[in-house]
Amino acid sequence: MTELARRTGAVNLGQGVPELPSPPGLLEEVAGAVRAGSNQYPPAAGFPALREAVAGHQRRRYGLEYRPQDEVLVTTGATEALASALLALCDPGDEVIAFDPVYDAYPAGARFAGARLVPVPLAEDGDGFVLDADALRAAVTPRTRVLLLNTPHNPTGKVFTEAELAVVAGLCVEHGLTVVTDEVYEHLVYDEGVHRPLAALPGMRERTLVISSAGKTFNVTGWKVGWVCGPAPLVAAVAAAKQFLTYASGTPYQEALARALGGVEAWAAELRGTLRRNRDLLSEGLSRAGLRPLRAEAGYFLQADVRAWGYTDGVRFCRELPLRAGVVAIPTSAFQLYPDAPSHFVRFSFCKREESVLAAVEKLLKAA
């Protein structure tokens, strides 16, 4: 789709690559660290100052205590943390449960480990999605090894509620499941929503690996600095896999982020304001163009229902949209593994400059 956008000169609301600025001080810090010679391998577990900053962040925001020495591991983005966690936890034949639509790295990560991803569909509920507790319960088998929870969720923009988290936690405790959470959008929850890590619920800290990353929070997706927090034995297992994937990376970025993470709240509040405005502009524009938008409580993306434009298939809609309207979107089916999943949703990203969002809206209205 990105290639199609380039070829047709369409406004690209496909990929979730931010067009938004990063904190200027953070960029200066990286430049300074490079010039000062921070260009060799960092410690395998990550810079101690960054591990301390991550531990401080988890304590301050969520009341979760992690020892920086052995319960925090810095990774090459959330992606490597996810892959390492699945390699560490799963044996061939194991099953990994995740909510569908699923981020594409999850089934790939499960396959690396010889395991299989079992998709559990989220249920449609008006203009959004809710947990289907029965579907979740039905997906657990004796082979289930890991439950992977992404909240805030990509691509739906759903934030799991306290009640939903309690259902998930109860099931994980009951069946002795190990949990991996992907919380890369933790700072991008809009309106009155709150992000709560599953690890903060009773009985969960000891069985949960919490993954996050700097990419989405600071608009630095190309830096690939992520981290994982959890009980020492689980983190050690992740570290053992990670050691032979990248060993370690991003020395100057790690140094700079160690300082930035302490002040993340002020930065994130400003970024949320920008993204929420974009979301509202795009959502209103999609509505006016007849493409019913779903609610996006968090993150970078809005789903829209394409049926009013005469399509039943989001793939065909996305192939034709660049020519018909000069806009690029991605079919939600790219993230759906569940066989009966609806095919009429597409995903638009709004992590773009306001001009890009407005240009896309104008083009959609013209083509409607």
Contact set with ligand PLP (CB under 6 A) = 77-79, 103, 150, 154, 182, 184, 213, 215-216, 221, 224, 226
CB of 312 to ligand PLP, least distance (A): 27
CB of 129 to ligand PLP, least distance (A): 15
Helices (H), the chain: 2-8, 24-35, 48-62, 77-89, 105-112, 133-139, 162-175, 232-242, 251-260, 264-288, 314-325, 354-367
Of 103 and 311, nearer to ligand PLP (C-beta) is 103
Distance (Å, rounded) from C-alpha 140 to C-alpha 143? 8
Of 14 and 77, nearer to ligand PLP (C-beta) is 77
Token pair recorded at residue 365: 């209205």
CB of 201 to ligand PLP, least distance (A): 20
What DSSP state is assigned to residue 357? H
Of 213 and 303, nearer to ligand PLP (C-beta) is 213
In the bound complex, which residue of the shown chain has the CB atom lying closest to ligand PLP? Answer: 77
What dihedral do alpha carbons 296, 84, 214, 358 form, nearest 10°? -40
Of 122 and 184, nearer to ligand PLP (C-beta) is 184
N-terminal to C-terminal alpha carbon distance within the chain: 21
CB of 10 to ligand PLP, least distance (A): 22
Residues 6+ apart with CB under 8 A from 154: 16, 103, 184, 185, 299, 300, 301, 335
CB of 277 to ligand PLP, least distance (A): 21
Of 108 and 359, nearer to ligand PLP (C-beta) is 108
Alpha carbon separation from 245 to 46, 79, 89, 200 (Å, rounded): 14, 11, 15, 29
CB of 216 to ligand PLP, least distance (A): 6
Of 57 and 224, nearer to ligand PLP (C-beta) is 224
